[in-house]
Amino acid sequence: MRLLDPTVRDYRSLAEGFQWRIPPRFNIGAACLAHPADRLAMVAVDGNGQAVDWTFGAMSRRANQLANALAALGAKRGDRVGVLLPQCPETAIAHMAIYRSGLIAVPLFTLFGPDALSYRLRDSGAVAVITDAGGCEKLGGIGEDLSGLRHIMSIDGANEGALDFHGLCDRASDSFGVADTAADDPALIIYTSGTTGPPKGALHAHRVLLGHLPGVEYPHCFFPQAGDRFWTPADWAWIGGLLDVLLPAWYHGVPVVAYRANKFDPEHAFDLMRRFEVRNVFLPPTALKLMRNAELKREQAPALRSIGTGGEILGSEMIDWGRSVLGGEINEFYGQTECNLVVGNCSEVASLRPGSMGRPIPGHRVAVVDGDGQTVPLGTVGDIAVRQPDPVMFLGYWNNESATTRKYRGEWLITGDQARADEDGYLWFVGRDDDVITSAGYRIGPGEVEDAVLAHEGVAMAAVIGVPDPVRTQRIKAFVVLKQGVEGSEGLIREIQDMVRSRLGAHEYPREVAFVDALPMTATGKIKRADLRRREGG
């Protein structure tokens, strides 16, 4: 069931005629698998390029078996279950089983290091994790910190401390009664980084999938259409991969290509999309820039019907490149983990305005407001805000009521980003009012990286900022004050980088490290990162 009428190609009519249809009872796992059993659900591509087709019937049976296996292990409604896997069939199966059981999914990025995993699993109180051999190795090193984690299930078979995922499923019944969940019942926790303190878990309800649908249908030019097939290089552990692609595609019965390389290769991406007949793609801006830098030709491009991107604003040069090489318009959209896909473009409704992230997606009420929550005049810079209630909006931060309260200003959810609106309702991004770093499509909180840098025995103080980068938008730079008697060197820089990479992940290590005598501080002892950014031209 589409939420946008494909026969209406006028923005005002789409927005004014839109009505949410949120049923009181809704379950993501039931809705995503409610399709003919023989319909293609997934083309799973392995590292050697070999593909296996999965039907919705096969996915449903395996999800039911896993749901029964989890119940046999003692998982009960409301328990949290971590999913530490790359793009693969078992990842989707795990999500479907968790939702169908009334459990709460905790997606975990496979590049996370032990510290990042330990924090998220402890904070969420996860009782089980579904992972692979690589994940088991990471979890084995932090087991003592996870007293509440009762079971680890490995898709690569049983090993020390881990159960055999497929063996458990094979022995379980493929019949399962889906939990009768309300649309407002919790379904998943996605951790998002902030400027201070550790990451916060954004708790979403089952209705979040329905809330995402207009924001997928609009920039993907009235998705779905006959022959559509979706792929993204974005990991399904993040909201962009999971709720911009996998779950909405399955809600509409559209097959998804599952493949994510450890490192994005532009030529391989083109080949993958051509070979597996991808028609719809979500490409983060960094992926688009790498494709442009690789100087790929129009004849190499796949036959795409829709191209979506979000996370950073593209300029006219990138949009022109998309037309000439990809053969279509790149529709930008905007959102954040707490309230996603609320602003966007659709080239079939109105021409793109390079530099603008678009207008409010039909169904969402978005405005630019001041510190009192009042709408500012056109052209005036203010905070991007989304009016509640909204089905895409999060329930709150897990175990963090004070942070949830600070997220709102009266009837508005405040995104933390600033923009101005023009006379036609287009929003123009100005900047962030915090210190979150956007690098290669990831939002990275400086506090977590600083803590990892400070773990080095030679470091006395550290501050982390994002500095401009032509490909990644920003790269992470660390300013380090060394302890007395410690000498800065290239070897020490590599030690710090390697340590952060191993503790947090390859996407969070500082690509630059500068040794300084002191850091700019406020009178109360807070690091003035804005001063560092100004020094670096950021």
Strand-pair category, 306-310 with 280-282 = parallel
Q: How many CB atoms lie within 10 A of CB 523?
A: 5
pTM over 0.85: yes
pLDDT beyond 70 at 18: yes
Residue 239 inside a domain? The answer is no
pLDDT beyond 60 at 524: no
Count of domains for the chain: 2
155, 182, 206: which is the final residue of a domain?
206
- What pLDDT is recorded for position 217? 98
Residue 36 inside a domain? The answer is yes
Residue 149 inside a domain? The answer is yes
For 460-494, how does the pLDDT look when each residue is reduced to its tens digit (9 = 90+)? 889 999 999 988 889 999 999 999 899 999 999 99
Residue 489 inside a domain? The answer is yes
182, 206, 230: which is the final residue of a domain?
206
Residue 179 inside a domain? The answer is yes
206, 229, 260: which is the final residue of a domain?
206
pLDDT beyond 70 at 523: no
Residue 220 inside a domain? The answer is no
For 433-463, how does the pLDDT look when each residue is reduced to its tens digit (9 = 90+)? 677 788 888 878 787 898 899 889 999 889 9
In the chain, the percentage of residues whose pLDDT exceeds 70 is: 98
| 198: CATH | 3.40.50.12780
Residue 280 inside a domain? The answer is no
For 45-60, how does the pLDDT look when each residue is reduced to its tens digit (9 = 90+)? 998 899 999 999 999 9
Residue 515 inside a domain? The answer is yes
Cβ(158)–Cβ(176) below 8 Å: no
Q: CA 345 to CA 327: how far, in whole Å?
A: 17
DSSP code for 299: G
Joined together, the tokens standing for residue 226 give 């006959």
For 186-206, how does the pLDDT look when each residue is reduced to its tens digit (9 = 90+)? 999 999 976 567 899 999 999
- What pLDDT is recorded for position 528? 84
- CA-based angle 48:54:59, to the nearest 5? 125
Mean pLDDT of 301-323: 90
| 443: CATH | 3.30.300.30
Domain limits at 482? Answer: 437-536
